[in-house]
Amino acid sequence: MTARDLNGQARNELKTLSKENADWVARHLAMAAQLIDEDPELAHSHAMSASRRAGRIAVVRETLAITAYATGDYALALRELRTYRRISGRDDQIAMMVDSERGVGRPDRALELGRAVDRSALPAVVRVELAIAMSGARLDLNEPERALTELDIPELDPDRAFEWSPALFAARAAVLEELGRTEESAVWQRRAEIAEEALYAASGAADLETIFVEEIGEPDDDPADNLASDDAEAADIAEFGDDHTDTQPSERDDPAAPDAASSPAATVEDEVAEILSDAGIDEPDEREI
């Protein structure tokens, strides 16, 4: 895993850091993105490590929020999302903020937060995510009819599949099920499955090769960038444990590796001495040279 495995836009945000620290943080962010689906806890550990050395960078706080949300720590996710929003000035994670308010048991606050945003200024995919989160908050308040209304948005097109279609169709199916309209629910659930299959096939994801990653090396702390204590690096090592130990044998542990006694210079001298001896010539005395 290298810094270039992080997307270019995110790497640009790290340019205010020293080169060494930016590289280190980028690799942790890339690892968090790589692991978020299969191992959210480990992804969160990587995000925490990045945050300790680049806590004032928006993408770092965003990643920490996303991994906290994935592990079910909604209070931390909400706190980090607020910080990300304040630093970046963007509302692209508003749906996760709404859902995090739901996660901490405040559906009323969730609806208030969602209504305060200008939806027309949001990208389509964010509008859909927000509609789904708002619908969920309505269900939390036992308002299924209003939950269905939250999903009546222009992006709800049953005849075409967009990146947001599977989740939107499935959300509508869940609300219809809640209303007891089981036949309609089954239709929308089937649409969600068809849309997901179509998008998966179009993406070529089935043909992707497995990506293998190597250990992320720990650089020396940069006092100008490090927001953590002097124990940050030790905490990282304890945090990751043996899962991040380099399993490649070193020359020091390799029985076949040459030691100091068999260095190239010593080997050449031995060979010269052996050739002179075979030829019956004594080695020259250094005092005669």
Give residue-wise pLDDT tens across range 45-71. 999 999 999 999 999 999 999 999 999
Strand runs (DSSP E) across 20-157, as ranges? none
Per-residue pLDDT at 118 exceeds 80: yes
pLDDT band at 181 (very low <50, low <70, confident <90, very high): very high
Percentage helix, strand, coil, to 5, in the chain? 65, 0, 35
Average pLDDT over residues 143-156: 96
Domains identified in the chain and CATH numbers:
1-90+228-251 (1.25.40), 92-203 (1.25.40.10)
Question: In terms of Cα–Cα distance, which of 169, 167, 99, 166 is closest to 139?
Answer: 99
Q: Is 222 exposed, middle or buried (0-12, 13-18, 19+ CB in 10 A)?
A: middle
Q: What percent of the chain has pLDDT over 90?
A: 63
Per-residue pLDDT at 182 exceeds 60: yes
Question: In terms of Cα–Cα distance, which of 241, 240, 213, 218 is closest to 53?
Answer: 218
Which tokens is 273 given? 């001495």
Entry field: residues in the chain: 289
Question: In terms of Cα–Cα distance, which of 44, 90, 94, 37 is closest to 65?
Answer: 44
Q: How would you label 205-221 residue by residue, b for 16+ Cβ within 10 Å and e otherwise?
A: eeeeeeeeeeebeeeeb
pTM of the model: 0.69
Per-residue pLDDT at 287 exceeds 50: no
Q: Give the distance from CA 67 to its chain's centroid.
A: 7
Question: In terms of Cα–Cα distance, which of 21, 85, 83, 89 is closest to 50?
Answer: 21
Q: In whole numbers, what is the pLDDT of the chain averaged over residues?
A: 80
What span, in angstroms and rounded, lies between the C-alpha atoms of 158 and 185? 13
Question: In terms of Cα–Cα distance, which of 147, 96, 146 is closest to 122?
Answer: 96
Which tokens is 249 given? 């044998």
pLDDT of residue 237: 34
Ranking 9-23, 73-87, 177-191, 214-228 by mean pLDDT, the lowest is: 214-228
Q: What percent of the chain has pLDDT over 70?
A: 71
Per-residue pLDDT at 284 exceeds 90: no
pLDDT of residue 33: 94
* Maximum average pLDDT range among 97-111, 210-224, 251-265: 97-111
pLDDT band at 44 (very low <50, low <70, confident <90, very high): very high
